[in-house]
């Protein structure tokens, strides 16, 4: 059973979730969703813009058995959910989803510890802004409270614990597999062919002299 807290507006669903979680004596699954998130966060120092067609929610979940795969697992599960609605999405290392035009339409931010993680999810379901990706081509009726609950329930009930199964599903939907990419982490840039993910979910980049393993960074197709 997922306990849901739906707000008209908040700065960050993750911050609200952490406050609720800290106030509970026993661990339970809590979902925080909202109509409008005004200070959503992405990876690093990035912000996540919330628009009319944006769904924002956070949920606490146990980590994947191999903890570093948790964000990858969530991206696969969310893409599975939309596949069940006849909407195909691509996956972008390490924790984003693209629409079929290779524009970001969803992102996942995972924080926490080995016992329990806080997963923040932002999804652009539709948008009139051409620079943003979107799941649906046109505006559609949207009940953010019920859809957040539906997707959160799907996540909780469709966990993928087997690492090889998870890797295979992720690679089949990867939008940049065997493509020349650049991964930027701080001031370091690594260019090469993205040939897969390693035993801990790290990016495997084939350069002219070696295969590099990268554990963090922002990826773009060259």
- Asked if 48 contacts 107 with a C-beta cutoff of 8 angstroms, the reply is yes
Task: Report the C-alpha gap between 164 and 124 in whole angstroms.
Answer: 29
pLDDT above 90: percentage of residues in the chain: 79
pLDDT exceeds cutoff 60 at 176: yes
**Torsion from C-alpha of 38, 82, 178, 68, nearest 10 degrees:** 60
Task: Report the C-alpha gap between 147 and 157 in whole angstroms.
Answer: 15
Q: Are strands 30-37 and 3-10 parallel, antiparallel or unpaired?
A: parallel
Task: Give the per-residue pLDDT at 114.
Answer: 75
- Of 41-45, 163-167, 209-213, the poorest mean pLDDT is in 41-45
pLDDT digits (tens, 9 = 90+) for 86-124: 999 999 999 999 999 999 999 999 998 777 899 999 999
For the chain, where do the domains classified as CATH 3.30.930.10 start and end? 3-173
What CATH number labels 3-173? 3.30.930.10
Q: What is the average pLDDT value for the chain, to the nearest integer?
A: 91
- Asked if 32 contacts 13 with a C-beta cutoff of 8 angstroms, the reply is yes
3-state percent helix, strand, coil for the chain, nearest multiple of 5: 25, 35, 40
Nearest to 36 by CA among 54, 21, 23: 54
Task: Report the C-alpha gap between 207 and 122 in whole angstroms.
Answer: 33
Task: Give the per-residue pLDDT at 22.
Answer: 61
Pick the CATH number of 180-221 from 3.10.580.10, 2.30.30.100, 3.40.470.10, 1.10.8.350: 2.30.30.100
For the chain, where do the domains classified as CATH 2.30.30.100 start and end? 180-221
pLDDT above 70: percentage of residues in the chain: 92
pLDDT digits (tens, 9 = 90+) for 31-51: 999 999 887 555 445 555 567
pLDDT digits (tens, 9 = 90+) for 123-136: 999 987 778 899 99
């Amino acid at each position: 059973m997922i306990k849901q807290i739906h707000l008209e507006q908040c700065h960050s669903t993750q911050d609200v979730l952490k406050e609720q979680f800290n106030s509970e004596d026993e661990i339970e699954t809590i979902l925080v969703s909202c109509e409008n998130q005004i200070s959503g966060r992405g990876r690093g120092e990035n912000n996540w813009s919330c628009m009319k067609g944006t769904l924002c929610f956070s949920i606490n979940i146990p980590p994947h058995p191999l903890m570093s795969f948790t964000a990858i697992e969530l991206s696969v599960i969310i893409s599975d959910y939309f596949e069940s609605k006849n909407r195909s999405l691509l996956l972008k290392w390490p924790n984003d989803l693209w629409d079929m035009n290779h524009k970001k339409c969803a992102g996942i931010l995972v924080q926490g510890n080995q016992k329990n993680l806080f997963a923040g999810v932002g999804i652009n379901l539709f948008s009139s802004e051409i620079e943003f990706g979107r799941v649906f081509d046109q505006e559609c009726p949207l009940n953010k409270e019920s859809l957040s609950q539906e997707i959160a329930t799907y996540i909780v009930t469709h966990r993928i614990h087997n690492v090889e199964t998870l890797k295979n599903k992720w690679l089949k939907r990867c939008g940049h597999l065997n493509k020349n990419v650049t991964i930027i982490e701080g001031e370091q840039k690594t260019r090469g062919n993205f040939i897969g993910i390693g035993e801990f979910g790290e990016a495997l980049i084939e350069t002219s002299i070696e295969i590099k393993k990268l554990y963090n960074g922002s990826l773009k197709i060259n």
